[in-house]
């Protein structure tokens, strides 16, 4: 494996890549001036010791609750006189902050397991992430001075997964938990796969660092790979077929990458890592947090909330969703993403008016913030709305049908004639997921989730359907489903469906506008997702397409809450690649991880719309 050492800048970059908790404007608050630091090795029930760093307020005239953050991304800095940035709003309010390297990572003993499966009815020295959190809290409450006996947990992404797992069989001292962008299912629609399609760029960049096995306890990140091309699109084309990754770069040394290859379908390996069946008998108050533009763990956020809600009637379980990509609610102003301005500092609002009051109430007994069941930001109209449940009860189902002339209408095509549109999909020239040229070392381009889609709609291998100008505002809320009748001349195919807000030609350009952005006819991506066609009937048992045979497919896109303003249009785009965020489907029914170059073939894809084949998009509209 060709590698070179990480310098300080690269180290910070890797921290960013691997979702470590970054905070905003830390220069306004000196942690060293207000907190003391201590390090411990906390024994688990099986004898393994986990490295843990504790920051305690210097003001010892009172006792404080603890906030625990369990992470595989290092609780650095490790030096006695080195202090990490703490979340400013919480730090000013005085909590005891605890950061812990999970077992098998950095300075903690044991073996690391990705998304370590939960073990129901544990006995003896059996451990999982739920038991490790329980044991850590037990020790902390008994041994850390000036704690008030109450513990809260929070975390983003992987740390969000650890926070969520702590809710199960929770320690009695654990009173409040905020899983933020928690991983829930790495095959269905989180991080590594979306409906069976492999998240190529992100998985490669992530595991090329995170997946390197350590030789001993360490305070350092592993080395990073050299790449011959800085251009992500070109570089990732150079390592397809996917078997080239091991041949050229990983050399079978990245254990989890090898596991992905061994388990191409949703088998017991992946099923055991699905957290959703286990959120039963939840005792702590829970606040699940996520972002509408989180392309990593939006599924985990929504479904963790829903699982807890369904299995625990009467439990305090709330959800907060803002206009954020992955983790940005914790470290940004939250007023802008890409070209789109949200009109206010939504990140700051969340930290001051939602997160801090939540922990203050449940851990310190301060004023009840009376948070709603669902606190949701409405994109498009740029406002916060409260709901008694999510999805809201009063939504009304509405269908938009594909029609001749690339129209999107509220009425199905009445003719029995098999109308269709078609395009040729070439896996050797896939549709890019972003118009931006990004560095191959970058995890991915985060603003792609609301990026202008005009670059895609102008390609011959992308179909676009749009409504007439809307005569009034239309707000869609909750899940979106694409129900399409399709055919392919291949034996496998990917189907990407995007919901887009098309601005009127008269839309004003931003002021100032140094990039000379033209907002007239802007095509803002609202939601998109991908289905690997062979998993259309079952993610456990793939099935080939019969070339030329019409087949109905359904793709469940994640929830949205968006207002299409009067004068705008609703557009649907359909394509068969989204590269290199997702790998190219060779369009031959095969194990893609073992595919050969000859398996990558051009195919003609058709989308049908007629009385008997009413291709449509199913949404829910707020009255």
- Kindly list the averaged pLDDT for each block of 10 residues, start to end, along the chain of length 623: 36 38 54 98 98 98 98 96 96 98 98 98 96 98 98 98 98 98 96 97 96 94 84 96 96 96 98 98 98 97 98 96 98 96 97 98 96 97 97 96 97 90 98 95 94 98 98 98 98 98 96 90 98 98 98 98 98 98 98 97 98 97 96
Tokens matching residue 541: 């048992």
Q: Please give the pLDDT value at position 436.
A: 95
CB 36 within 8 A of CB 97: no
Q: Please give the pLDDT value at position 84.
A: 96
Helix pair angle (158-166, 298-311), 10° resolution: 10
Q: Please give the pLDDT value at position 506.
A: 95
First to last CA, the chain: 58
Q: Which CATH superfamily is domain 3-187+273-387 in?
A: Alpha/Beta hydrolase fold, catalytic domain (3.40.50.1820)
Q: Please give the pLDDT value at position 22.
A: 39
In whole angstroms, what is the distance from residue 430 CA to residue 390 CA?
36
The continuous run of DSSP H or E covering 115 comes out as none
Q: Please give the pLDDT value at position 8.
A: 34
Q: Please give the pLDDT value at position 514.
A: 80
Q: What is the DSSP letter of 344?
A: S
Predicted TM-score of the model (pTM): 0.95
- Name the nearest CA neighbour of 376 among 474, 292, 486, 481: 292
In whole angstroms, what is the distance from residue 197 CA to residue 185 CA?
13
Q: Please give the pLDDT value at position 7.
A: 38
Q: Which CATH superfamily is domain 396-621 in?
A: Galactose-binding domain-like (2.60.120.260)
The helix/strand/coil state of 177 is strand
User: Domain coordinates of the chain in residue numbers?
Assistant: 3-187+273-387, 396-621
Q: Please give the pLDDT value at position 219.
A: 95
In whole angstroms, what is the distance from residue 515 CA to residue 618 CA?
36
* CA-to-CA separations, 438 to 102, 235, 245, 432, in angstroms, rounded: 32, 11, 20, 11
- Name the nearest CA neighbour of 573 among 466, 420, 451: 466
Q: Please give the pLDDT value at position 468.
A: 98
Q: Please give the pLDDT value at position 17.
A: 39
∠ CA 197-200-205, rounded to 5°: 150
Q: Judge whether 3-187+273-387 and 396-621 match in fold.
A: no
In whole angstroms, what is the distance from residue 440 CA to residue 76 CA?
26
């Amino acid at each position: 494996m060709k590698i070179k050492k990480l310098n300080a800048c690269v180290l910070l970059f890797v921290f960013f890549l691997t979702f470590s908790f970054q905070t905003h404007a830390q220069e306004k608050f000196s942690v060293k001036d207000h907190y003391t630091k201590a390090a411990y090795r906390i024994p688990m029930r099986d004898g393994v010791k986990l490295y843990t760093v504790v920051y305690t307020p210097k003001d010892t005239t009172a006792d404080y609750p603890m906030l625990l953050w369990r992470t595989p991304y290092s609780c650095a800095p490790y030096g006695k006189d080195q202090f990490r940035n703490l979340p400013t709003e919480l730090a000013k309010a005085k909590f005891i902050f605890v950061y812990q390297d999970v077992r098998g990572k950095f300075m903690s003993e044991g073996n690391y397991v990705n998304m370590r499966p939960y073990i129901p009815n544990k006995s003896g020295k059996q451990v999982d992430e739920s038991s490790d959190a329980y044991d850590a809290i037990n020790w902390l409450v008994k041994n850390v001075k000036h704690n008030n006996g109450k513990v809260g947990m929070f975390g983003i992404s992987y740390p969000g997964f650890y926070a969520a797992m702590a809710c199960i069989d929770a320690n009695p001292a654990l009173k409040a938990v905020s899983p933020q962008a928690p991983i829930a299912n790495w095959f269905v629609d989180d991080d590594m796969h979306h409906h069976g399609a492999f998240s190529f760029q992100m998985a490669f960049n992530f595991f090329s660092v995170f997946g390197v096995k350590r030789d001993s306890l360490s305070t350092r990140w592993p080395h990073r790979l050299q790449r011959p091309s800085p251009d992500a699109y070109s570089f990732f084309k150079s390592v397809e077929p996917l078997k080239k990754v091991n041949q050229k770069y990983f050399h079978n040394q990245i254990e989890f990458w090898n596991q992905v290859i061994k388990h191409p379908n949703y088998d017991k390996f992946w099923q055991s890592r699905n957290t959703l069946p286990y959120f039963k008998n939840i005792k702590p108050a829970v606040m699940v947090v996520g972002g509408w533009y989180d392309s990593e763990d939006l599924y985990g956020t929504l479904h963790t909330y829903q699982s807890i809600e369904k299995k625990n009637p009467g439990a305090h379980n709330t959800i907060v969703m803002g206009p954020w990509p992955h983790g940005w609610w914790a470290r940004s102003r939250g007023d802008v993403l890409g070209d789109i301005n949200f009109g206010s500092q939504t990140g700051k609002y969340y930290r001051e008016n939602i997160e801090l009051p939540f922990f203050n109430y449940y851990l310190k007994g301060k004023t009840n913030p009376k948070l709603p069941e669902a606190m949701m930001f409405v994109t498009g109209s740029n406002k916060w709305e409260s709901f008694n449940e999510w999805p809201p009860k009063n939504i009304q189902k509405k269908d938009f049908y594909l029609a001749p002339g690339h129209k999107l209408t509220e009425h199905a095509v009445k003719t029995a004639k098999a109308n269709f549109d078609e395009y040729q999909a070439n896996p050797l020239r896939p549709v890019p997921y972003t118009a931006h040229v990004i560095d191959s070392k970058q995890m991915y381009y985060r603003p792609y989730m609301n990026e202008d889609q005009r670059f895609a709609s102008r390609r011959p291998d992308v179909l676009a359907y749009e409504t007439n100008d809307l005569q009034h505002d239309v707000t869609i809320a909750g899940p979106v489903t694409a129900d399409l009748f399709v055919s392919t001349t291949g034996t496998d195919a990917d189907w990407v469906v995007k919901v887009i807000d098309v601005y009127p030609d008269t839309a004003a350009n931003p002021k100032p506008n140094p990039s000379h952005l033209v907002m007239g006819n802007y095509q803002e991506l609202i939601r998109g997702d991908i289905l690997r066609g062979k998993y259309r009937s079952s993610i456990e048992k793939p099935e080939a397409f019969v070339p030329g045979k019409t087949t109905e497919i359904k793709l469940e896109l994640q929830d949205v809450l968006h207002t299409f303003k009067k004068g705008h249009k609703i557009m649907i785009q359909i394509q068969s690649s989204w590269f290199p965020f997702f790998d190219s489907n060779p369009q031959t029914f095969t194990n893609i991880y073992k595919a050969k170059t000859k398996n990558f073939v051009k195919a003609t894809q058709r989308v049908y719309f007629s009385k008997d084949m009413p291709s449509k998009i199913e949404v829910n509209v707020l009255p």
